[in-house]
Amino acid sequence: MTLLVEAVSKQYSNNVLALNELSFHVVAGESVGIVGESGSGKSTLAKLLVGIEYYNKGVITFDGMPIVPKKRINQKKFRKNVQMVFQDAVSALNPKLPIWKSLLEPLDNYKEFTPSFLDGENLTRKEIAAQLLEMVGLEKEMANRLPGELSGGQKQRVSIARAISMEPKLLICDEPTASLDASIQVQILDLLKELQQKSNMTILFISHDIRAVAYLCERLMVLKNGVKVDEFKLVDIYHEDRHEYTKALIQAAAID
Ligand SMILES: Nc1ncnc2c1ncn2[C@@H]1O[C@H](COP(=O)(O)OP(=O)(O)OP(=O)(O)O)[C@@H](O)[C@H]1O
Ligand SMILES: [Mg+2]
C-alpha cells in the first residue's frame, strides 16, 4: 500500500483555497496523523482521498493508480481498499435499519469478497454481524437495536466495524472521536490501535486534537490554512525544531 499526494491544491467554487500544494506519502502499516485547527482543510483532504471531491492541481495515487475524482473507473476496487470512518457516526448509519443490517452493507456490496475472518466458515448473516460486533468490542445483542438505541461511542464502534469488514489497506478516520467523552475517546483510539496491530492496516487519522493524534500515530503532519507546516515522527514531537505553530498546538493541548 502506498498513498502518494503530490502538490495537491483544492479551491472551492467560492474561491476558498482549502488545500495549497499539499504533498505527503503514506506506506503500508503506518499510522499517520494529520492535525490542524478548524478550517485547515482536514476534511477536504479526506474527501479528496476517497474521491468524493475534485482537486484542481496535483495528483493523488493509491498503489500507483491515480484517484480520479467521481469517476467510476476502478472505483469499486479502490473503495474496497480505502475505507473511511467519519466524525458523525449518527449520519453514517441509517436510523431505520437495525445495526446488523447496517453492518453488512459493505459486504453486501462486495459479494465476491470474503474477508479472512470468514474464511472457511459458513455463517448466517446475523452471525457475521455478531462476529463484526465482537471485533470492535460490542455485545452481539446490539445487532437488533436501531442506531438511536446506541451511545455515541457504540455507534462509532459500529462505523469502525463496517469499515474493517472490508479489510481495507487504508483506513481514513476523520475526527472519529471528536464528539465523544474523553474516556470513550481513549477507548476508540485503543480499538484502532489494536485493529491496526492485528491486521497491519494503514491508518490515516485526522483530528484537531494533537493529543489524540499523538496517542495513536507514529508520524504526524500539521496542517494550517491548507498548507503542511510541519511533519515529524512522534518521538520528535518536543524537538526544538518543531514549527512555532506545532509548539502552540502542544502548549494549548497541555493547558486544556
Ligand atoms: N463544500 C464547500 N464549499 C466551499 N467551501 C468549503 C466547502 N467545504 C469546506 N470549505 C471551506 O474549506 C476550508 C477547509 O474546510 P475543511 O472542512 O476541510 O476544514 P477542517 O479542517 O475539516 O475543519 P473542521 O475541523 O472544522 O472539520 C474552510 O475554509 C471551509 O469553509
Ligand atoms: Mg473537518
Distance CA 69, CA 249 (A): 32
Q: Which atom of ligand 1 is nearest to the CA of 41?
A: 18
3-class secondary structure per residue, 158-223: HHHHHHHCCCCCEEEEECCCCCCCHHHHHHHHHHHHHHHHHHCCEEEEEECCHHHHHHHCCEEEEE
- pLDDT for res 73: 56
Orientation of helix 152-164 relative to helix 182-199, angle to 10°: 10
Surrounding ion ligand 2 within 5 Å at CB are 42-43
For position 194, which CATH number holds?
A: 3.40.50.300
The residue type of 69 is P
Q: pLDDT grade, residue 256 (50/70/90)?
A: low
Distance CA 161, CA 167 (A): 10
- pLDDT for res 244: 98
104: closest CA among 125, 135, 73, 76?
A: 125
Distance CA 120, CA 14 (A): 52
Pocket of ligand 1 (CB under 6 A): 12, 14, 16, 18, 36, 38-44, 208
- Region 81-95: what's the mean pLDDT? 85
Q: pLDDT grade, residue 161 (50/70/90)?
A: very high
Q: Give distance in angstroms: CA of 173 to centre of ligand 2.
A: 11
* Three cell numbers, residue 35: 492535525
- pLDDT for res 20: 98
User: Which pLDDT tens digit goes with each residue over 26-72?
Assistant: 999 999 999 999 999 999 999 999 888 999 999 999 999 998 877 76
Q: pLDDT grade, residue 254 (50/70/90)?
A: confident
- pLDDT for res 179: 83
Ligand nearest to the CA of 11: 1
Distances (CA, A) of 123 to 80, 110, 120: 22, 17, 9
- pLDDT for res 74: 58
178: closest CA among 199, 197, 205?
A: 205
12 has pLDDT over 60: yes
User: Which pLDDT tens digit goes with each residue over 105-132?
Assistant: 999 999 999 999 888 788 999 999 999 9
* Three cell numbers, residue 25: 506519502
Q: Give distance in angstroms: CA of 43 to centre of ligand 2.
A: 4
The pTM is what? Answer: 0.95
157: closest CA among 184, 183, 122?
A: 184
- Structurally, how many domains does the chain consist of? 1
| Among protein residues, the one whose CA lies closest to atom 17 of ligand 1 | 43
Mean of the per-residue pLDDT values for the chain?
A: 93
232 has pLDDT over 80: yes
Distance CA 49, CA 55 (A): 10
Domain that holds residue 17: 2-255
| Among protein residues, the one whose CA lies closest to atom 16 of ligand 1 | 41
89 has pLDDT over 90: no
- pLDDT for res 222: 98
Q: Which atom of ligand 1 is nearest to the CA of 10?
A: 12
